[in-house]
Amino acid sequence: MTRAEMLAFEPKPDEYVALARAVDESASDALLDERERALRDQIREVVAAELVPRAAETDRTHSFAIEGFTALAERGLVGLIFPKRWGGTEDSNVAYAAAVEEITAGCPATSLIYVTQMHAGYPIWRAASETVATRYLPGIIDGSIFGSLGITEPDAGSDAASLRTRATATDDGGRQSYVLSGSKTFITTGDRADAIVCFATVDPALGRRGITAFLVDGTAEGLTRGRPFDKMGMHGSSTAELFLSGVEVPAENRLGDEGDGWSLLMTSVIKSRISAAAQGVGIARAAYQMALHALRAIHGSKLPDEVTFALAEMRGEILRGRLLLFAVAREVDRSASPSAGEIAMMKQSCTDLGWRVSVEAARILGPFGDVAGLGVERCIRDSKVTQIYDGTNEVQRLLIGRDTTRGLEGVL
Ligand SMILES: Cc1cc2nc3c(=O)[nH]c(=O)nc-3n(C[C@H](O)[C@H](O)[C@H](O)COP(=O)(O)OP(=O)(O)OC[C@H]3O[C@@H](n4cnc5c(N)ncnc54)[C@H](O)[C@@H]3O)c2cc1C
With a 6 A CB cut-off, is 188 part of the ligand 1 pocket?
A: yes
What pLDDT score does 5 carry? 84
Q: Is the pLDDT of residue 412 over 70?
A: no
In the reported structure, the alpha carbon of residue 117 is separated from the centroid of ligand 1 by a whole-number distance in angstroms of 20
Q: Which residues does residue 242 pair with via DSSP β-bridges, in sequence order? A: 184, 225
- Residues ≥6 apart with Cβ < 8 Å to 343: 269, 270, 273, 328, 332, 399
Residue among 389, 392, 355 nearest 190 (CA): 389
- Using CA positions, which residue lies closest to atom 24 of ligand 1? 157
In the reported structure, the alpha carbon of residue 158 is separated from the centroid of ligand 1 by a whole-number distance in angstroms of 5
With a 6 A CB cut-off, is 385 part of the ligand 1 pocket?
A: yes
In the reported structure, the alpha carbon of residue 388 is separated from the centroid of ligand 1 by a whole-number distance in angstroms of 6
- Using CA positions, which residue lies closest to atom 26 of ligand 1? 157
Rounded to two decimals, the pTM is: 0.97
Domains contained in the chain, CATH given? 3-142 (1.10.540.10), 148-259 (2.40.110.10), 262-404 (1.20.140.10)
Q: What angle do CA 65, 98, 48 make, to 5 degrees?
A: 45
Q: What gap in Å lies between CA 31 and CA 37, rounded to an integer? A: 9
With a 6 A CB cut-off, is 185 part of the ligand 1 pocket?
A: no
pLDDT, tens digit, 9 for 90 and up, residues 316-343: 999 999 999 999 999 999 986 678 999 9
What pLDDT score does 336 carry? 63
pLDDT, tens digit, 9 for 90 and up, residues 98-114: 999 999 999 999 999 99
Q: Which residues does residue 196 pair with via DSSP β-bridges, in sequence order? A: 148, 216
Asked if residue 282 lies in contact with residue 354, where contact means CB atoms within 8 angstroms, the answer is yes
Residue among 50, 72, 24, 94 nearest 285 (CA): 24
What pLDDT score does 172 carry? 86
Residue 3 binned pLDDT confidence (cut-offs 50, 70, 90): confident
Q: What gap in Å lies between CA 96 and CA 40, rounded to an integer? A: 9
Q: Is the pLDDT of residue 58 over 70?
A: yes
Q: Is the pLDDT of residue 411 over 80?
A: no
Q: What is the mean pLDDT of the chain?
A: 96
Residue 398 binned pLDDT confidence (cut-offs 50, 70, 90): very high
What pLDDT score does 406 carry? 83
What pLDDT score does 138 carry? 98
What pLDDT score does 179 carry? 98
Q: Is the pLDDT of residue 1 over 90?
A: no
Mean pLDDT over residues 177-205, rounded?
98
With a 6 A CB cut-off, is 150 part of the ligand 1 pocket?
A: yes
In the reported structure, the alpha carbon of residue 240 is separated from the centroid of ligand 1 by a whole-number distance in angstroms of 14
- Residue 313: count of CB within 10 angstroms of its CB: 13
